[in-house]
C-alpha cells in the first residue's frame, strides 16, 4: 500500500499539531477537508483521548490527516534541580503540580497509531527507532520526523522517515530538538537549504509561516509543503484560550524559554517568562507538570501574564477566520505569489 506523500495534497499546507490546547478535531478536520493536511496533537493527552479525537475527525471527513506524538526523553531530570526551580515559583498565584517524569503514554499511543492508522504519524522531541518506523510503515502509515538541525535530519533519514518536518527557529511552541541541551536555532530558510543539500526526502517547512507569500517562499525553496501553526490559532475551530488569542493578534515580541515546561519553546514574552526564564532548568516534562496547575488557574482567570503564550515570530499576522476558508485563501495567495515571482524572474 502506498503511504501518504505531501505531494498528494491538493493544497500544500499542513496544520501544525498545536499540542496543549489549540489542537482540536474540528480544526484538523476543517484543514483536511479543505485540501490541506490537518493534524491532531497527541501530546499531553491520554491515548484514549487521542483515539476519541481521531474518531471525531473521521466523523467529519474521509480526507487524510496526521497525528503527532512526543518522543520520550532518555532519562528523568535531576530532582534537586527541579525542586530548586519550584522554590522560585512559590510566589506565583495558584498551586504547583507534582514535577513527575513520564513518557506521555508512549506505548499506548504507538499501539493506537497501529490500530487507527492515520495517514501520517509525525514525531517531535526525537526520532523513533528504525524498527518502530518500519512497523508503522508496514501498517501503511507515513512517518514524519521533526528536525531542527542537519544532524537531526541525517538521523531521521537514516532511521527511514518518509519525510522531514524542518522546524526553523521562528516556530512557536516547543523546539522539536532531539536533545533540549542543544536546541537547534537555525532559521527556517537556512535550515531548508542545508537539509535539501543532503537528502532527497520530502521536506515540510515550518516556523513563522503566516501568509501566502511565506508558503510560496518555502515551496520555491523546494519544500513539498508548508506547515503552519500560529496561523491557525485564531480560527474559531482552534481551542486557543481567550487571553492567548488576545496576545496573538498583538505586536508582542517572542523569545525562547524553558520557564513553562523545562523544554525550550517560543512564546510571546510576558511577566512569567521574563521573571523565570533565567532560573528555568532543562527538565521536561517535570517542569511542565510543575507549572501546569498554575497555568490552568491563570487561564481560568484570564491572566495572560502567567500562561505560556506559544507563538511563532510572525504571530501578529494571524487571521481570525474559519480554518477551511483560511487554507483556501492562503493556498490561492501562495499560487499567485509563485506565479508573479516566476514571471518577474523570466
CA distance 173 to 184: 13
CA distance 118 to 32: 12
Which of 13, 30, 188, 259 lies at the binding interface for a second copy (CB under 8 A)?
Answer: 188
Per-residue string for binding with a second copy, 118-157, x by CB under 8 A?
A: --------------------------------x-------
* Length reported for the chain: 346
321 binding a second copy? (CB under 8 A): no
> Residue 120, SS3?
strand
Residues that contact a second copy, how many (by CB under 8 A): 46
Question: Which residues fall within 8 angstroms of residue 179, CB to CB, at 6 or more apart?
Answer: none
Instruction: Give, as ranges, the residues between 8 and 27 that touch a second copy (CB under 8 A).
Output: 12
Cell of 32: 483536511
Closest CA to 295 of 267, 264, 314: 267
Residue 237, number of CB atoms within 10 A of its CB: 21
* Torsion sign, CA atoms 200, 166, 124, 46: negative
173 binding a second copy? (CB under 8 A): no
- Which one of 58-66, 69-77, 291-299, 309-317 is the stretch in contact with a second copy (CB under 8 A)? 309-317
Question: Which residues fall within 8 angstroms of residue 239, CB to CB, at 6 or more apart?
Answer: 21, 22, 23, 24, 27
216 binding a second copy? (CB under 8 A): yes
- Which one of 73-81, 129-137, 189-197, 318-326 is the stretch in contact with a second copy (CB under 8 A)? 189-197
Considering the complex, what minimum distance in angstroms separates the CB of residue 185 from a second copy? 8
CB 12 within 8 A of CB 331: yes
Which of 160, 183, 202, 214 lies at the binding interface for a second copy (CB under 8 A)?
Answer: 214
Considering the complex, what minimum distance in angstroms separates the CB of residue 159 from a second copy? 20
Instruction: Give, as ranges, the residues between 244 and 263 that touch a second copy (CB under 8 A).
Output: 251
Which residues would be at the binding site for a second copy (CB under 8 A)?
12, 150, 168-170, 186-194, 196-197, 207-211, 213-214, 216-222, 251, 312-314, 316-317, 334-335, 337-339, 341-342, 344-346
Amino acid at each position: 500500500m502506498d503511504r501518504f506523500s505531501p505531494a498528494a495534497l491538493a493544497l500544500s499546507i499542513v496544520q501544525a499539531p498545536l499540542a496543549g490546547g489549540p489542537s482540536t478535531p474540528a480544526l484538523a478536520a476543517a484543514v483536511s477537508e479543505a485540501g490541506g493536511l490537518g493534524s491532531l496533537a497527541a501530546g499531553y493527552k491520554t491515548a484514549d483521548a487521542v483515539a476519541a479525537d481521531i474518531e471525531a475527525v473521521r466523523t467529519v471527513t474521509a480526507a487524510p490527516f496526521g497525528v503527532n506524538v512526543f518522543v520520550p526523553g532518555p532519562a528523568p531530570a535531576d530532582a534537586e534541580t527541579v525542586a530548586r526551580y519550584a522554590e522560585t515559583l512559590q510566589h506565583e498565584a495558584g498551586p504547583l503540580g507534582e514535577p513527575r517524569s513520564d513518557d506521555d503514554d508512549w506505548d499506548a499511543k504507538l499501539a493506537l497509531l497501529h490500530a487507527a492508522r492515520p495517514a501520517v504519524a509525525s514525531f517531535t522531541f526525537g526520532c523513533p527507532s528504525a524498527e518502530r518506523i518500519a512497523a508503522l510503515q508496514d501498517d501503511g502509515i507515513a512517518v514524519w520526523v521533526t528536525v531542527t538541525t542537519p544532524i537531526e535530519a541525517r538521523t531521521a533519514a537514516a532511521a527511514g522517515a518518509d519525510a522531514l518536518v524542518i522546524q526553523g527557529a521562528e516556530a512557536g511552541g516547543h523546539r522539536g530538538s532531539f536533545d533540549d541541551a542543544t536546541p537547534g536555532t537555525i532559521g527556517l530558510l537556512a535550515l531548508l537549504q542545508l537539509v535539501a543539500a543532503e537528502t532527497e526526502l520530502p521536506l515540510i517547512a515550518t516556523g513563522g509561516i503566516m501568509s501566502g507569500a511565506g508558503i510560496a517562499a518555502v515551496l520555491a525553496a523546494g519544500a513539498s509543503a508548508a506547515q503552519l501553526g500560529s496561523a491557525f490559532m485564531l480560527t474559531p475551530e482552534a481551542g486557543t484560550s481567550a487571553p492567548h488569542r488576545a496576545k496573538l493578534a498583538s505586536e508582542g515580541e517572542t523569545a525562547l524559554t524553558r520557564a513553562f515546561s523545562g523544554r525550550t519553546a517560543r512564546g510571546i514574552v510576558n511577566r512569567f517568562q521574563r521573571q523565570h526564564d533565567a532560573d528555568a532548568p532543562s527538565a521536561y516534562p517535570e517542569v511542565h507538570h510543575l507549572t501546569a496547575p498554575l497555568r490552568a488557574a491563570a487561564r481560568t482567570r484570564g491572566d495572560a501574564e502567567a500562561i505560556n503564550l506559544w507563538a511563532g515570530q510572525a504571530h501578529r499576522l494571524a487571521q481570525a477566520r474559519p480554518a477551511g476558508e483560511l487554507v483556501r485563501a492562503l493556498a490561492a495567495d501562495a499560487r499567485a505569489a509563485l506565479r508573479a515571482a516566476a514571471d518577474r524572474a523570466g
